[in-house]
Chains A and B, each alone.
Chain A
Amino acid sequence: KNQVEQSPQSLIILEGKNCTLQCNYTVSPFSNLRWYKQDTGRGPVSLTIMTFSENTKSNGRYTATLDADTKQSSLHITASQLSDSASYICVVSAVTGGFKTIFGAGTRLFVKA
């Protein structure tokens, strides 16, 4: 069964600190993995995309890693800012005659001053 599991469910950190969010998946055939950021009351927006051959990708203070062997991904946020408070959603796409996307439940991050 195709599944995407994220941890932790929620996280509170102080402004300026780093944090790492985890994503484990059982999706095949694997096409790519994306991390989305969803601000409160808004639609999700893609942060990074990673394909099978990519191990790490950065987008500003966000760095995603992918281990295709263990089917794990992480999203590391450096020097957190108040505006990083949001839900971070791991989404894995499978190629099945089109793209099938499986969403994780998300990690709710709260950054406090």
Chain B
Amino acid sequence: GAGVSQSPSNKVTEKGKDVELRCDPISGHTALYWYRQRLGQGLEFLIYFQGNSAPDKSGLPSDRFSAERTGESVSTLTIQRTQQEDSAVYLCASTPASGSNTGELFFGEGSRLTVL
């Protein structure tokens, strides 16, 4: 597609359930980021994938959060045993190879997660 695609756009779940969020980056973009944005707040870095290198997981808030990416394709962010505090918009962004890019992040529209 032309842009970063995220699904689902909205997800309502019950506390304690697991959720999986998907991100389709722009074709050819080797770097992929996940961010969390709580209502009225700034973006919190969660995890960064760059090609086949080990991901930077330094932003994951707890071991309930995990993410995977196969090569330079789709990524999934999984939240296990969801808590109400996990309610937020989860934004995915991709960017071209670091050797040629200017650091611009291309964002998807986000997945809004509501934990009841």
Interface residues of A (CB under 8 A from B): 31-32, 34, 36, 41-46, 49, 89, 91, 93, 98-99, 101, 103-106, 108
Interface residues of B (CB under 8 A from A): 4, 31, 33, 35, 40-43, 45, 50, 91, 93, 95, 98, 101-105, 107-110
- Distance between B56 CB and nearest chain A CB, rounded to angstroms: 9
- Distance between B107 CB and nearest chain A CB, rounded to angstroms: 3
| Docked pose: A41 CA to B108 CA in angstroms | 11
Contact A43 B108 (CB under 8 A): yes
On chain B, the residues within 8 Å of A103 by CB distance are 35, 42-43, 45
18 contacts between A and B (CB under 8 A): A36-B105, A42-B110, A43-B107, A43-B109, A44-B105, A49-B102, A49-B104, A98-B50, A98-B98, A99-B98, A99-B101, A101-B105, A103-B42, A103-B43, A103-B45, A105-B41, A105-B42, A108-B40
- Distance between A45 CB and nearest chain B CB, rounded to angstroms: 7
In the complex, the chain A residue whose C-beta lies closest to that of B108 is A43
The 3 A-B pairs of least Cβ separation, nearest first, read A43-B107, A105-B42, A93-B103
On chain B, the residues within 8 Å of A49 by CB distance are 102-104
On chain A, the residues within 8 Å of B93 by CB distance are 43
Contact B107 A45 (CB under 8 A): yes
Best-surrounded residue of A43, A49, A99, A101 (most CB of chain B within 10 A): A43
